Amino acid sequence: MNPIAAIIVIIGFWALILTRPGFALAQDAPSADAPGQDAPGKSSGDVPDETKGGAPDEGIPIELTADEVKFDRKKRIVTATGNIVITSENRTLYADSVSFNQNTDVMSARGNVTLVEPGGEVLFGEYMELTSDMKDGFVENLAILLKDRSRLAANDAQRTNATRLEMNKAVYSPCKLCEKDPTKPPLWQLKAVKVVHDKTTKKIKYYDAWLEVAGIPVLYTPYLSHADSTVKRQSGFLAPGFGGSSGLGPVVSLPYFYAIDDQRDFTITPMITYDEGPVLIGEYRQLMTYGELKGRGSITRDSDGDTRGHIGAKGRFNIDDTWRWGFDANRAIGETYMRRYGFAKDNTLPASSNSLTSQLFAEGFRGRNYMAFNSYVFQGIKDGGKSGTIPYVFPMLGYNYVGQPDKLGGRTSLDVDLQALTRTNGVDSRRFSLKGGWQAPFTGPLGDQYTLSASLRGDIYHVNGLVRENTEKKFDGFKGRVLPEIRLDWRYPFVRNEGGTHQIIEPLISAIYSPYGGNLEKIPNEDSLDFEFDDTSLFSSSRYAGIDRVEGGPRFNYGLKWGLYGKGGGSSSFVIGQSFRVRRDGNLPLDSGLVDNFSDIVAKLDVSPGKYLNLLYRTRIDKDDYKLRRSEMRLSMGVPALRLDTNYIYFANERGEEFVGREQISYSLNSQFNRNWRGRINGLSDLSGKNNLRSLGLNLTYENECFLFSTDLYKSFYRDRELKPFSSIMFRINFKTLGGVGSGATKSN
């Protein structure tokens, strides 16, 4: 029998045999501060000493305010009526009438009785018998408003030492009652023959209990317990999970959460798969005054007898106000293991699925200065990459210094870089780079602005086994270069204020000179494989991502910026520009758009008139035929009732670059139908191939203050090595404050 059929049978069975009379959730309780607040009363003050005789705690003061107070000296009974307020040890009692018997130390309260506890919990009842300190007693027709606004109600209850409350024929629910018909059952509630709230253990225990949904019994249990509203974390079993995948078959998991203390916890999850056997998953979290530590790992032995597993750990620790250190440890056994077992979305791992990165670092911040020590280990998990060619990076040192302004307003700077890369199969390289510079701003007589910059950089490399073009002989040894550079930037902003808008038009020009010949064949290219020319790098001295490759020769960058800004926060901006170099540079990637004298044209449009519309478009246009070489568009529009988010990317297939061309669009349509219902449709389409649709998902969720139900439909249309396209349906039910249940099914194509 499948899980859904089993749930239907259980619901029908208990609906027939477990419906019992005499149980109903109390109506919304009145506000705790309502009774007696606005009328001070005709008699007030401490209860007379003679009324305290025989009381166990004679040192505890009791303050009483009422419209009328009478004292029978012979019977030693105090009687109060009308707008009564009694306070003792931060507990406050409100009632219409109270009778206090000094001989028995018992207070009898009737009529709109309300007891406010020090922790914020409020008890309501028709009749209460309490001791003078209000810690022990008996309550009829009890209703309790807990700190988290959940409710408990019972026919009667016994209170002991203000820490234990035993309730008979009780009901619990965090759901709000219907305002139009408060007698209508809440969305869900727990009923029990007996309920015990133990504040010492901070647990609410149910005996002979059942769960009702919309007034219909659906599940019975002889015993159930959960933490009360004062507990943020409690050890115990979490909601079980049900699901499956094309490679694993049906999957069942049962996590157990262990709260070690207020700062540490551990979760262990046995996961049983039908096709591949059991998987053991562990997660640890720790929060400290000086940092945090969290990690997740798994291990299994698959059907082929191979051990598979992964670890994703992260730590960040503050040493003092200047220094901190940390680490990331991310490794997996098996290239498709992460995606196959559902760990690819682990929040301790990097977003990229092409590789796993582990690092150990320390960094310091002081004023405008920064220093960092790093070491990296990478693991490729895409298309069977050979791990021997992936480098180990140790050490990596970076230092940046910016000085104080001098007499001309200029600042000096110093950048230091040290890096060593080691491979088991491939080139080894060590690099030391030192760059000093000076930069000063000036303002012209017409309000135009200038920035003069000068720098001198020296790089020295030591390599082993470097493969060079046009020769089979590998290079071993030292190689260095010196790169001076001088730069002048000019801009002339035109500003106009009109009505509620602020407009800026700004032409920009930069002139840069550095010598040719910086990219020597004996210098390896480790960190500059990626090259991007767009509006963000238009005015950069070098468009390379790293240090190993440099741009040389005289060159000019020019462009125009326009911006319109409203007082209400809306804005629109546009930038367009181009680069010119005196001589063609064949060392640049062939289709980078920068090889010729005149570069391609780059532009960006950003329109954000308000929170309901945001458009960002970025493009690169071929200078010769004006065809689009690269385009990127992000569009978000709509209100919460219906909002569209799209992201379109187009990269032409460019020679001399590591990455192939791409054209794809991702989209998401979200709708908040009303206060409780919401939905989402999302997908990814590859527009460059025949099989355009890559994935498609649908979500429908109902959520209120006490309940969540969510359904997810997902279909994958592409294959990743041995992982085939698949379809899945998943649902999740969460009874808030109690826990939830997840279930689903997956079908392989």
Compute the mean pLDDT over every residue in the chain, rounded to the nearest whole number. 84
Local structure of 246: helix, strand or coil = coil
Q: In this model, does residue 721 exceed pLDDT 80?
A: no
Per-residue model confidence as pLDDT tens digits over 350-395? 444 567 899 999 999 998 899 999 999 998 776 555 567 889 999 9
| Contact by Cβ (8 Å): 330, 311 | yes
Report which DSSP code applies to 363. E
pLDDT, residue 298, reads 94
User: CA–CA separation, 272 vs 269, rounded Å?
Assistant: 10
Q: What is the CA radius of gyration of the chain?
A: 36
Residue 190: Cβ within 10 Å count: 25
- Which segments of 150-276 are extended strands (E)? 151-160, 164-173, 188-198, 203-213, 216-227, 236-237, 241-245, 249-253, 256-259, 264-273
Quote the CA–CA distance of 255 and 257 in Å, as a whole number: 7
CB contact at 8 A, 615 and 606: yes
Any residues with CB less than 8 A from the CB of 518 and at least 6 apart, and which? 481, 483, 550, 551, 552
36 Cβ contact partners less than 8 Å away, ≥ 6 residues apart = 65, 83, 84, 85, 94
Mean pLDDT across 79-93? 91
Write the pLDDT tens digit of every residue in 524-536: 999 998 788 999 9
Q: Quote the pLDDT of residue 11.
A: 37
**What average pLDDT does the segment 304-313 reach?**
90
Q: Mean pLDDT across the stretch 677-684? A: 94
Distance CA 228, CA 195 (A): 12
What average pLDDT does the segment 45-73 reach? 63
* DSSP per-residue letters across 417-468: EEEEEE-SSS-EEEEEEEEEEEEEEEE-TTS-EEEEEEEEEEEEEEEEEE--
- CA triple 171-173-174, angle to 5 deg: 155
Write down the pLDDT at residue 410: 94
* pLDDT (tens digit per residue) in 275-308: 888 999 999 999 999 999 999 999 999 888 889 9
Q: What is the dihedral of CA 274, 276, 277, 283, to 10 degrees?
A: -110
Taking only the tens place, the pLDDT of each residue in 176-212 is 888 888 888 999 999 999 999 999 988 899 999 999 9
Angstrom distance (rounded) from CA 98 to CA 83: 10
Q: List the structure tokens of 515.
A: 């010598």
The answer, yes or no, to whether residue 248 has pLDDT greater than 80, is no
Which pLDDT belongs to residue 726?
67
C-alpha closest to that of 526 among 400, 655, 428: 428
